[in-house]
Structure 1
Amino acid sequence: MQRVTVTIDDALLAALDAHAARHGYGNRSEAIRDALRTALLGTDAAPAADTAPCVATLSYVYEHEKRELARRLAQVQHGHHDLTVAALHVHLDHGTCLEVSVLRGPAGEVKQLADAVVTQRGVRYGQLHLVPAGEEPHAHRDD
């Protein structure tokens, strides 16, 4: 590991300390490393990032009665059926639903699926949370 020096104003340092305490970090370095990972995860800094394996959750809220939206969403999801591990559907009120999909696959394909879902007319809010999954999935072994 490398040691670096960073200058932070008092208000930002206080916010960092409060965040670290609230989440139970043992020290500032751990909190800063996690914050950097989160901030850098969504960037396209590495050319290989789109082929890297990941797991993700895609959460989105939509108007279920919007014309043809359910059909369009189903088409998008079926077009990427190999990426979906599980899905949860929740009725929030008379006209609004929340869906949460657990996804697994190459980061670029997961991002394409997320973009295809959240850009549909009638989807009010969408958020992709992407996490690196390592190089190879490992089979569970009973020894």
Structure 2
Amino acid sequence: MQRVTITLDDDLLTTLDALSEHHGYRNRSEAIRDILRNALVQEKSQQADRQGYAVLSYVYEHEKRDLASRLVSSQHHHHDLSVATLHVHISHEDCLEIAVLKGNMHEIKHFADEMIAERGVRHGHLQCLTAEGDE
């Protein structure tokens, strides 16, 4: 393990310390290592030729005109990426879906963008991991 010195402005250091405390890191080094690891995983997952896994989560208005059928149709169109899907009713108006995906990262990203861009999808997030051994 190497020791390095970095310079941070006061506001950024305050933010780092707050983040470290909030997440229970014992020291700044652990927090910075995790931040860097997460950034590297996200960078690798953006490479089109990579195989990997992803978790797509989104909240949508289930009564929005034909939205549920458009989402299901898109999922069927990309059935080869789907490992599992969880559907949760979070309120009278909204549903949360979580899809575990596996395949080419470019195809996964395209599918996620398509789902999140649907009118009536309120929030969407894609968390990517490259396949083990690809790191």
Q: TM-score, normalised by structure 2?
A: 0.83
Which residue in 2 is equivalent to 1:89? 87
Which residue in 2 is equivalent to 1:19? 19
What count of residue pairs does the alignment treat as equivalent?
134
Instruction: Within 5 Å, give how 1:1-143 maps onto structure 2.
Output: 4-43=4-43, 49-135=47-133
Judge which range, 6-15 or 76-85, deviates more: 6-15
Q: Which amino acid aligns with 2:60?
A: Y
Aligned alpha-carbon RMSD (Å): 2.4
Q: Distance in 2 between matches of 1:125 and 1:134?
A: 29
CA contact (8 A) 2:55 2:128 kept: yes
- Which blocks of at least 5 consecutive residues in structure 2 are unaligned? none
SS in 2 for 1:50: coil
Note the C-alpha offset of 1:26.
4.7
Q: TM-score, normalised by structure 1?
A: 0.79
Structure 1, residues 108-137: CA drift from partner, whole Å, max 9, x if none?
Answer: 11111101100111111100011122247x
SS in 2 for 1:49: coil
Q: Distance in 2 between matches of 1:122 and 1:14?
A: 38
Q: Which amino acid aligns with 1:17?
A: D
